[in-house]
Amino acid sequence: MTTGRFVEPLGLITGPVSFHALREGFALPLQGGDIAFAFVRLIEDGEDLGVGPIRDVPEDWHEAMHAIAQRPGPFAGLPTERPLLMGVVNVTPDSFSDPGRLADTATAIAAGHAMLEAGADILDVGGESTRPGAAAVTTEQEIARILPVVRELAKAAPVSIDTRNAATMRAALDAGAEVINDISALRHDPEALRLVADSEAPVVLMHMPGDDPATMQSLATYDDVALEIAGFLRDRIAACEAAGIPRGRIAVDPGIGFGKTLAHNLALIDRLPLIASLGCRVVLGASRKRFIGTLSGVEEAGRRVPGSVAAALAGAARGASVLRVHDVAETAQALAVWRACAMGRALD
């Protein structure tokens, strides 16, 4: 059972209606942004206490509810007023999304620069495939793959390193990377938590059942997937804070596709505001995932661009702060139009 209290924002609104609702006290801003929430679900020790308007929330829940309205600080010094785009640069021969396309160093670097030109705010470089059944690589192999790519791309933009190995984290930071993105939420390598704390680097904590991608799908069993993952991430945030990593340096990722079924993935995207209620930036990595292929009938991952864009917009509409995507240009264009339509005005 997931213990503790959770306030889940509901009744999301945007545009002119949200401005009026905020002014009249009928709504609060989700993480201080352009999306407001007018209702909440109160959950205590796994028990759903019911849904109601924010004005009817009992006084002893007010502090937790109003905390959700506070804007988190800038993550890695990046803008806070809009969803950010994190471009995926997989320097692996067996990536699920584009097998081997960026395995060559020069090609990976060129792809990273193209993503920046298309609107990426940060680049996420990875040297180990974490799809189910992927071949294991040594830390030495992983470092050899990513180091020249990180070193070059870090000259042009913020770079995050997608790894669960402390040695790779250290090498990437030394090469210019600024952010750690760990699918194991700093659980896989016993040295990772201390390294991140000492480095003062921002970190993305992702949920995955267990700490091995090879077995994660066998552990895809939840009573309430969104609540259980919110509880897991809350506990990992607490572990980081205890180790000296302040909440302002932490972003969280529900781990779409990592030990989740189609139903789990859809529930998590729908209930992203619950993840946002933890007070950290929310990263959503749904791009080209299998569930998009299942829903759309498209087997080849590289042809799932329209579905990936749709998932990204659904996440942005529910409070995702960072969208981790393979198709930056398409997502940037869709996001610009969606934001203007949602706000009811042209945006800079």
Catalytic sites, residue numbers: 289, 324
Mark 87-97 as b/e (b = at least 16 C-beta within 10 Å): bbbbbbeebbb
- The dihedral sign for the CA sequence 239, 243, 244, 249: negative
At a CB cut-off of 8 Å and minimum separation 6, what does 99 contact? 93
Residue 79's closest CA among 111, 114, 120, 49?
Answer: 120
The alpha helices in the chain, defined as continuous H runs, are: 15-23, 62-67, 105-118, 139-153, 166-174, 192-199, 225-242, 262-270, 272-276, 290-296, 305-316, 328-343
- Note the Cα 293 to chain centre separation in Å: 20
Strands 322-325 and 179-182: unpaired
What are 9's two structure tokens? 């924002």
User: Coil, strand, or helix at residue 259?
Assistant: coil
CA distance 269 to 246: 26
**What are the tokens at 130?**
């974490």
Coil, helix or strand for 186?
A: coil
CA distance 225 to 271: 10
**Which two structure tokens, joined as six digits, stand for 136?**
């294991």
Task: Say whether 301 sits in a helix, a strand or coil.
Answer: helix
